[in-house]
Amino acid sequence: MKKRAGIDTEELSNNTPARGRGYLKVALPDHPLTTSEWAKLKEGSSKPERFEMQMIEGLLAANADVNIAKSLLAYVVQDKGTLSYELLLRYLTLCVTAGHHSEVFDTYDIMRTCFKTLDTGASSLFIKGFSQTERWREALGLLEGMKKALLPSPRNYGDAITGAVLHGDTETGWKLYDELLEQGIAPNQDTWQSLFQSGITQRGPEDKLFSVLSYMRDNQIYPEEPLIKTIKAWFESLPDQKWSGKFSFVAPSGECKNCKASLESIQLTEEEYAQLKDEVMKKVIEGSDIFHKTTPEELKSFKAFVKQRPPFDIVIDGLNVANTTPKATHSETLLAVVSELERQGLNILVLGRKHMLQPSRNWDRQNMNKIKQKSHCFFTENISEDDPFLLYAALHSGVHCNFLSRDLMRDHKACLPDTATRRLFFKWQRGHQFVISHYAPGKRVRFQRVSAYDTIVQTSGSSWHIPYDEDGRDRATYEIPQKWLCLTQEH
């Protein structure tokens, strides 16, 4: 497994504020200083040996004028005769972030001359910096060089792709995009943004952009607001196709408020369910990696346990659910949830860990006894992973069985063999995962309703419906977006 190049400008600049002004005993200058002024400032510093680094990090954190940083570098050269790699890297971050292109080129020349190799951080910054300029092709060379050591990050690829399409070379942009997908890297939203943007200005390949929408569908990805606006503009710019886009909501029944079309049902067909069950049983539950998380004996006894009981209506991830609120003890929360589901007449399975049976402040013995009376319980070893047990019990019980957890189970996607099965897994999950929407001690537990329609990019040919994330609205991972872009074709 190649290591991935993670460092990029964001990471560098995000790391610096904490270290930046926090322990600077002197204020940052607000204009460039002469070498003697810098020397005087250094004399007053409580840590003269760290002075230059503290200063450059402070300037970076404050997003200061690049000329102040330049005057600092001039002072350091005069004082020490050389510039350290770390100092240049911080200065480079400042230049790239603020878009000072000629300073980026100068720093590149200095670093290539003074240092045999560039680390990931510097290479990432130069790829970003060069991509924004007429020297964008050099970013491709840097990307190639990086590949020899590690797998570039989505950001590295994204910067290079944006550089290519920005300068009119959509062919190179798409070639890099295909390579990124082949490497199994998930693209960033900005990368899609620049590809759709180029589709508007340069009439890029339509089929490729439609394939981006299919990728979002298959991987359950929701565009963010800036991207959805560009997608809308792209559809509306397609010559002679007469697309019209409106932002819309979907009724609980699954009807689009704008075009009145019915969206895809969240329910799997019998064939789809059988196929998914088969694959999950083979790959996730009997797959080679599961026994890192449990033992063959434990799994065998669990299968026997499930077989001896009538099909469950709901399977609860006990530990996950017990942690829902800090206002109640774990066992109190779990008991409230189990009691509400029992009131609905459901056959319940609670999956837990053995430590939950050791009486403690969080795990009250009386509460645990009541839980055992109201539901079937299975407690695994403390080191076991709950998910495979939860999946096994839910899928074994049949298509009517739901599960309750705040967990997204992203890990299991990787075990599934192909896109179609992964899509079925997510669809099953979206249609069967209950989440607690409200619980306060002493009050009734409320669950978030599973919608009747599927929240996923979808098309009927003459219409597209794309769910998207609104700006500034934080959505928990298990929640789904409420807003849709409805695109229809006039005939």
What does the pLDDT average to over 382-391? 81
Which pLDDT score is estimated for 297?
A: 85
**pLDDT category, 474, cuts 50, 70, 90?**
confident
- Between 418 and 225, name the one with better pLDDT: 225
Closest CA to 159 of 173, 179, 145: 173
**pLDDT category, 303, cuts 50, 70, 90?**
very high
Angle at Cα 148 formed by Cα 87 and Cα 139, nearest 5°? Answer: 60
Could you tell me what percent of the chain has a pLDDT over 90?
70
Say how many Å lie between the first and final Cα of the chain, rounded.
51
Which pLDDT score is estimated for 313?
A: 97
Q: Is the pLDDT of residue 378 over 50?
A: yes
Which pLDDT score is estimated for 166?
A: 94
Task: Tell me the pLDDT tens digit for each residue of 8-34.
Answer: 434 443 333 333 444 444 589 999 999
Task: Tell me the pLDDT tens digit for each residue of 104-127.
Answer: 999 999 999 999 889 999 999 999
- Give the pairing type, strands 314-317 and 402-404: parallel
CB-hemisphere CA count at 13 Å for 9? 20
Q: Is the pLDDT of residue 407 over 80?
A: no
| CA–CA gap between residue 210 and residue 451 (Å, rounded) | 26
Torsion of CA 48, 50, 56, 61, to 10 degrees: -110
DSSP letter string, 313-370: SEEEEHHHHHTS-TTS-HHHHHHHHHHHHHHTT--EEEEEEGGGGS--SSS-HHHHHH
Which pLDDT score is estimated for 478?
A: 62
Point out the least confidently predicted range of 65-79, 185-199, 209-223, 396-410. Answer: 396-410
DSSP letter string, 122-149: HHHHHHHHHHTSTTHHHHHHHHHHHHTT
CATH top-level class of 9-187: mainly alpha
CB-hemisphere CA count at 13 Å for 160? 28
CB-hemisphere CA count at 13 Å for 341? 28
Q: Which residues contact 481 (CB under 8 A, 6 or more apart)?
A: 222, 455, 467, 468, 469, 470, 475
Q: Do residues 312 and 347 touch, judged by C-beta distance below 8 A?
A: yes
Q: Is the pLDDT of residue 293 over 70?
A: no
Q: Do residues 154 and 36 touch, judged by C-beta distance below 8 A?
A: no
| CA–CA gap between residue 433 and residue 426 (Å, rounded) | 10
Q: Do residues 403 and 394 touch, judged by C-beta distance below 8 A?
A: yes
CB atoms within 10 A of CB 155: 21
Distance of CA 91 to the CA centre of its chain: 29
| CA–CA gap between residue 488 and residue 278 (Å, rounded) | 38
| CA–CA gap between residue 264 and residue 340 (Å, rounded) | 30
Closest CA to 102 of 55, 137, 67: 67
CB atoms within 10 A of CB 10: 13
396 burial class (0-12, 13-18, 19+ CB within 10 angstroms)?
Answer: middle
Which pLDDT score is estimated for 8?
A: 41
Task: Tell me the pLDDT tens digit for each residue of 151-206.
Answer: 999 999 999 999 999 999 999 999 999 999 999 899 999 999 999 999 999 887 89
Task: Tell me the pLDDT tens digit for each residue of 434-470.
Answer: 989 888 888 889 998 788 899 999 999 899 999 999 9
Domain 270-447 CATH assignment equals 3.40.50.11980: yes
- Between 10 and 218, name the one with better pLDDT: 218
Q: Is the pLDDT of residue 361 over 80?
A: yes
What does the pLDDT average to over 411-433? 82
Which pLDDT score is estimated for 412?
A: 66
Q: Is the pLDDT of residue 2 over 50?
A: no
Q: Is the pLDDT of residue 306 over 80?
A: yes
Residues of the chain with CATH 3.40.50.11980: 270-447
Which pLDDT score is estimated for 386?
A: 75
Residues of the chain with CATH 1.25.40: 9-187
Closest CA to 187 of 210, 147, 219, 231: 219
Which pLDDT score is estimated for 34?
A: 95
**Considering the chain, what is the average pLDDT of its residues?**
89
Closest CA to 360 of 334, 384, 336, 329: 329
- Report phi then psi at 350, rounded to 5: -105, 125
Which pLDDT score is estimated for 491?
A: 75
